[in-house]
Chains A and B, each alone.
Chain A
């Protein structure tokens, strides 16, 4: 080869060397927990030693107790399958460490999956009306007809989101640092009243038609237990902003769903022959009881199992 070409090849190799080295260093592309006790890893680059001592898995909550590795099995597609002596929970947060090469990796479900779980839990598994029995004050009053139910559901969800986020921010950045936790109830109900009043005034000035339709629901929301329960639950659990938002959306959606189902059933009830003592509220309670029984069926709903 002419000497100039040799120099070019050498320079090219020098420039590409770091990239080649990086490509040769194994990296973990994906780590997934597969129930009941497997961890599936996909690597790029050369596979590390397939040795139980090479891997160390701990939960985020107990980082000093490694979970015993039973078996390390290579799999096609540059993967490893690790089997552990103990059940692994797909919803749990784990730390994975390799000794050689020294790689550290967090194994946890995606934040979107977690948020979806919170939303589904708030709407179905722990439905605020049928499982936590909150919001009944308004529930029986507004669920007599389908269009009032839909109107209330939409209004409530929107107000719920605004109130929950504002309350969360106040609790996290004002009440918490100043250790004024005992003022929570006062502050949260104040936020509710403020949001309701603000929306009412704004709606009256900008959209009189909408105000005529939805205005009455706004006033009723202030005495709805759910509107206060969600900020309290968020504060109690110390949720982050996304979890607070997910709980607000889920609870609003769950309430709207409960209202809608109940209104459909109650419209049908108007054609039934109800005994005189049961007419009105008592039979509505019995209906709610049947719905609550049905919602118990959502108990074990879990995306990750």
Chain B
């Protein structure tokens, strides 16, 4: 396919050059204007869709109903002043009240105030991360460590074999694992990417905080009946727990079975889950008394 004309080109007159420049500039400007319109039209939907997806994921992972309240806690670092600043606001609510708490790096309280959610974040605060706290609306479901608190959802990161692994961990109020989902991994399918499979991540669900803190990974192959049970448990059928009770008792105390051929990724994810749970625990211990009113 030849895009260039072979015959000799006639010289351009001045008028033609002006016409060319004008038409090209016009095309660029019209194009940019069209894109601007499309951007304005779709941006709102994009953000709304992103928020809706996160809210749905939080509700699914913690088993909440639509009336539950989700609070988003954003963490910032005031580098110069060596302070960590937390801002808690109802998730998705752009017009309500937010609560801001600041701590020094050693954990001493350095500030506590109310402000509007729409208040802009000062330039010297660098975003560090965020997590979600869910509270029930006085429902009838009973859970361990009850109280209005329904659980936490945090994003964690780990360095896999080839690329970072991002995952969500949902925790019960006493920091046991309620659910775990891998959202992004660019490792090879069949090897490192297998950590996203049901049967691998379901191994973390149901473990208490102490078990997670001391969790290890074994290279032993996973028994087939346990693998099938994990896949069934991941589907969250109401009778699954009862049906597989014997297997659960047998395997619950054992370490995590690594993915065959992907020990490094398996260990990385385990360590990442441990670190995520530990960090949320520490931060919540500082934050909880300060955020009572906001939740």
Chain A contacts for B36, CB-based, 8 A: 182
Chain B contacts for A86, CB-based, 8 A: 271, 275
Are B35 and A64 in contact, CB atoms less than 8 angstroms apart? no
Complex Cα–Cα for A91 and B187 (A): 18
Are B32 and A62 in contact, CB atoms less than 8 angstroms apart? no
B259 at the interface (CB under 8 A from A): no
Q: Which of A64, A89, A91 contacts B103 (CB 8 A)?
A: A64
Q: Which of B19-55 contact A (CB under 8 A)?
A: 28, 31-32, 35-36, 38-39
Are B162 and A299 in contact, CB atoms less than 8 angstroms apart? yes
B64 at the interface (CB under 8 A from A): no
B95 at the interface (CB under 8 A from A): no
Residue of A nearest to B264 (CB): A300
Are A87 and B271 in contact, CB atoms less than 8 angstroms apart? yes
A272 at the interface (CB under 8 A from B): no
Cβ contacts B178-213/A at 8 Å (1 or 0 each): 000000000110010000000000000000000000
A12 at the interface (CB under 8 A from B): no
Chain B contacts for A209, CB-based, 8 A: none
Are B128 and A61 in contact, CB atoms less than 8 angstroms apart? yes
B279 at the interface (CB under 8 A from A): yes
B141 at the interface (CB under 8 A from A): no
Query: Which of A61, A91, A186, A299 gathers the greatest number of chain B CB atoms within 10 Å?
Result: A299
Q: Which of B93-122 contact A (CB under 8 A)?
A: 103, 105, 107
Are A62 and B162 in contact, CB atoms less than 8 angstroms apart? no
Are A182 and B35 in contact, CB atoms less than 8 angstroms apart? yes
Cβ contacts A178-194/B at 8 Å (1 or 0 each): 00001100100000000
Are A299 and B188 in contact, CB atoms less than 8 angstroms apart? yes
Q: Which of A61, A183, A296, A299 contacts B35 (CB 8 A)?
A: A183
Are B188 and A64 in contact, CB atoms less than 8 angstroms apart? no
Are A63 and B188 in contact, CB atoms less than 8 angstroms apart? no
Are A63 and B271 in contact, CB atoms less than 8 angstroms apart? no
B250 at the interface (CB under 8 A from A): no
Are A183 and B32 in contact, CB atoms less than 8 angstroms apart? yes
Complex Cα–Cα for A210 and B264 (A): 50
Chain B contacts for A300, CB-based, 8 A: 161-162, 264
Chain A contacts for B245, CB-based, 8 A: none
Chain B contacts for A62, CB-based, 8 A: 128-129, 279
B230 at the interface (CB under 8 A from A): no
Q: Which of B38, B77, B84, B159 contacts A89 (CB 8 A)?
A: B159
Q: Which of A58-90 contact B (CB under 8 A)?
A: 58, 61-65, 86-87, 89
* Chain A proximity of B256: nearest CB distance (Å): 16
Sort chain B's interface into a size bin.
20 to 34
B282 at the interface (CB under 8 A from A): yes
A253 at the interface (CB under 8 A from B): no
Complex Cα–Cα for A91 and B105 (A): 23
Please report the number of residue pairs spanning A and B whose Cβ atoms sit closer than 8 angstroms: 44
Chain A contacts for B161, CB-based, 8 A: 299-300
Q: Which of B126-157 contact A (CB under 8 A)?
A: 128-129
* Chain A proximity of B103: nearest CB distance (Å): 7
Known contacts A186-B32, A186-B35, A296-B188; is-contact A64 B105 (Cβ 8 Å): yes
B283 at the interface (CB under 8 A from A): yes
* Chain B proximity of A24: nearest CB distance (Å): 27
* Chain B proximity of A89: nearest CB distance (Å): 6
Complex Cα–Cα for A172 and B31 (A): 22
Complex Cα–Cα for A296 and B188 (A): 9
Chain B contacts for A219, CB-based, 8 A: 3-4
Complex Cα–Cα for A64 and B275 (A): 13
Residue of A nearest to B3 (CB): A219
Known contacts A89-B159, A125-B162; is-contact A182 B283 (Cβ 8 Å): no
* Chain A proximity of B78: nearest CB distance (Å): 10
Residue of B nearest to A182 (CB): B39
Task: Please provide the 3 A-B residue pairs with the shortest distance between their CB atoms, ordered closest to farther.
Answer: A182-B39, A64-B84, A299-B162
A-B contact pairs, 15 of them (CB 8 A): A62-B128, A63-B105, A64-B84, A64-B283, A65-B278, A65-B279, A125-B162, A182-B35, A182-B36, A183-B32, A296-B188, A299-B161, A299-B188, A300-B161, A300-B264
User: Can you name 5 extra interface pairs (CB under 8 A) apart from A64-B84, A299-B191, A300-B162?
Assistant: A58-B105, A61-B128, A65-B282, A183-B32, A219-B4
